[in-house]
Structure 1
Amino acid sequence: MEYTNLGRTGLKVSRLCLGTMNFGPETNEADSFAIMDRALDLGVNFFDTANVYGWKLGEGVTEQIIGRWLAQGGGRRDKVVLATKVYGRMGEWPNEQGLSARHIVRACEDSLRRLQTDTIDLYQMHHVSRTTPWEEIWQAMETLVAQGKVVYVGSSNFAGWHLAQAQESAARRNFFGLVSEQCLYNLVARGPELELIPAAQHYGIGIIPWSPLHGGLLSGVLRKMAAGQASRGKEGRAAEDLENYRESIEAYEKLCADLGHDPSEVALAWLLSRPGVTAPIIGPRTMQQLDSAAAAVEVELDKKTLAKLDELFPAQGKGGPAPEAWAW
């Protein structure tokens, strides 16, 4: 496994981040434990979750599973850079969601309890709040950092200008601010290249792409469908976009076959080659999926292959950041 710094911090994280959204709803607890143990064996030290994962209101099912795994000891907690998120609805009352200082602090306490740990290494805002002032958000985060309950703060699903807002507000308070941003980014969804990634690079914020396989669309979906194995290709993001990208996906799967790599490995390797990317989030439901994803770290794509991928899945406009992507 390769490691890199998380944004501008001195913290070292693996080039792949273990996403845990499937733990509970799709993968039972025993199998989730085995996948996390295997991830450590592979050198993956960066684990990501959220208080809403498990999708049972207020229960934090996935955090509880991770907490019971950590409680087994064996150095698990010391080895893991543990990330979770706050924002989503955790109860029926109006203040049990969002980014008010009240909710941030209470949600953090609840996540710590479920995770059975004293500290969250990376506490991420799961979405931007358009109604909460940054002064309030940073006051709450500063309190948690001062108490030792949070080490670093990150964001998810922000726009480029939100990163600028957040960092300029943090700078006025002499606070470190954001160190990472999770965003939808893959060969099919290249929008972040216009403004989000340039803003993140300017402020020293590491990019952590979620859905790197676009819901299974880039995992060999056509081959799997022909074999009757592509359950994910019939739902969600992959199903919505398959017909729009069918011709490109056909050519992509042929290219991967010619390279001798699984399509999922190529999609992850492409992200690992992109400027500003710290670690794509892999969300394995099975041990086989984890092992396949881990192999992507060893895949090197030459200039010819990268050019072909750009041809199959073009960047927006002329490519690169805005406004050059569309202006002279």
Structure 2
Amino acid sequence: MSLDRYYTLGRSGLRVSRLSLGTMTFGEDWGWGAAEDTARAMFDRYLEAGGNFIDTADMYTEGSSESLLGKFVEQAGVRDRVVISTKFSYNAQPGNPNAGGNGRKNIMRAVEGSLRRLRTDYIDLYLLHTWDRLTPAEEVVRTLDDLVRAGKIRYAGLSDTPAWYAARAQTFAEAHALTPLVNLQLEYSMVERHIEHEFVPLAIELGMGITAWSPLGMGLLSGKYRPSQAGGEGEGRLAKVTAAPGFERFTERNWRIVAALEEVARESGRSMAQVALNWAANRPGIASLIVGATRLAQLDDNLGALDFSLPDALRARLDEASAPDAPFPYYMFVDRQQTRIHGGVAVGDKPAGYAPPVWVDAVEARDVRASR
């Protein structure tokens, strides 16, 4: 599965690569990014490999990410070929509450800034970056629909929102014939699997492909940390953010996962990063993985993650090592409980082809009537 095999994103006709190039590291404004020449080399290498899906946001490296990406796309003359995804939510003017958040006023302000930095007159995929706890889903959906109708964006989606909010937004769009959401961008990796409880079923049911950010667990699964070599806490981005609430990665559970990953990588003859990415890319509901790097060698290794199939036995070991806890109410839905609900009888979805599509039924009914 090389990068020049494309799949539709969610319930849409937008074709994207299974690995998306993350540009959060484009620019050095945050102290750990890539300089322009390195960023350009990674951009070129990704396109050479057949990739077409590039992720950024207006706040990445204080706007440098969008600016560099826009420059690279323009110079390479590939605007029609690439699918650019960017995001809004974070405040651009401290002290001005309407220069951030997800209200119509800020969305309209933010999209113009992104278009200018990206040197384009349209954005392929525009995402709400983070839930602001204030703006009604209806306001967000209507504003995104207006942007589609105005030709400023082609598709829309959400990132880092509660599942109930995403469900309300999508069902509101469906009920009012507004532009449907085609994407959920969420954190997902072997060390962060909580989206499996709610978001994965939601995305599959409502037609939103999931793009996974941090599929290497902020670098914990990259191969830099190896229990067999007493891999320490290291430096870099992970060491800088791991103390932040929700970003703790150096836990006993996670070290067990890293140990299992190291063993599987050794037995499969692949790097730890490649195995971790391959595992995540083949999980239910996952449309694309966002891979970012600060060095070309890192990106090269990541781009080889889809060129092999992980044996079932090895995949099962990773599944078991990383299995998430099932808090209430999800432990009520396990097989043992379902057996009691259904009286001990095996009950499941109909097999493929069990019932023909409705339109086939209608045709057959018409033919029956005509033969009488």
Selected match of 2:59 from 52, 55, 60: 52
Cα separation, 2, equivalents of 1:158 and 1:278 = 18
Cα separation, 2, equivalents of 1:23 and 1:327 = 48
Paired position in structure 2 for 1:81: 83
Paired position in structure 2 for 1:242: 250
Paired position in structure 2 for 1:277: 286
* Structure 1 gap segments, 5+ residues each: none
**Deviation at residue 11 of structure 1 after TM alignment:** 1.1
Between 139-148 and 92-101, report the one with greater CA deviation.
139-148
Return closer, same or farther for 1:40/1:135 CA change in 2, 3 Å cut-off.
same
Query: TM-score under structure 2 normalisation?
Result: 0.81
8 A contact 1:23–1:62 mirrored in 2 = yes
**Deviation at residue 109 of structure 1 after TM alignment:** 0.7
Cα separation, 2, equivalents of 1:107 and 1:323 = 43
Cα deviation per residue 1:234-287 (whole Å; 9 max; x = unaligned)? 443499322422233223212211211101101100111111101010011111
Paired position in structure 1 for 2:313: 304
8 A contact 2:261–2:276 mirrored in 1 = no
Helix, strand or coil at the partner of 1:17: strand
Selected match of 1:231 from 235, 245, 249: 235
The answer on 1:164 being equivalent to 2:167 is yes
Paired position in structure 1 for 2:324: 315
Partner AA of 2:182 in structure 1: V
Cα separation, 1, equivalents of 2:142 and 2:289 = 30
Paired position in structure 2 for 1:150: 153
Paired position in structure 1 for 2:365: none
Paired position in structure 2 for 1:41: 48
Between 133-142 and 113-122, report the one with greater CA deviation.
133-142
Cα separation, 2, equivalents of 1:235 and 1:36 = 25
Paired position in structure 2 for 1:31: 38
CA RMSD of superposed structures (Å): 2.2
The answer on 1:22 being equivalent to 2:22 is no
Query: TM-score under structure 1 normalisation?
Result: 0.92
**Deviation at residue 67 of structure 1 after TM alignment:** 1.4
Cα separation, 1, equivalents of 2:159 and 2:333 = 25
Cα separation, 1, equivalents of 2:100 and 2:296 = 34
Helix, strand or coil at the partner of 2:189: coil
Return closer, same or farther for 1:322/1:18 CA change in 2, 3 Å cut-off.
farther
* Structure 2 gap segments, 5+ residues each: 338-372
Paired position in structure 2 for 1:107: 110
Cα separation, 2, equivalents of 1:223 and 1:316 = 24
8 A contact 2:125–2:156 mirrored in 1 = yes
Paired position in structure 2 for 1:290: 299
Cα separation, 2, equivalents of 1:327 and 1:99 = 42
Cα separation, 1, equivalents of 2:53 and 2:103 = 27
Partner AA of 1:214 in structure 2: G
Cα separation, 1, equivalents of 2:282 and 2:322 = 15
Partner AA of 2:241 in structure 1: G
8 A contact 2:147–2:153 mirrored in 1 = yes
Helix, strand or coil at the partner of 1:255: helix
- The percentage of counterpart residues that share the same residue type is 38
**Deviation at residue 326 of structure 1 after TM alignment:** 8.7
Selected match of 2:262 from 231, 249, 253: 253
Paired residues, number: 321
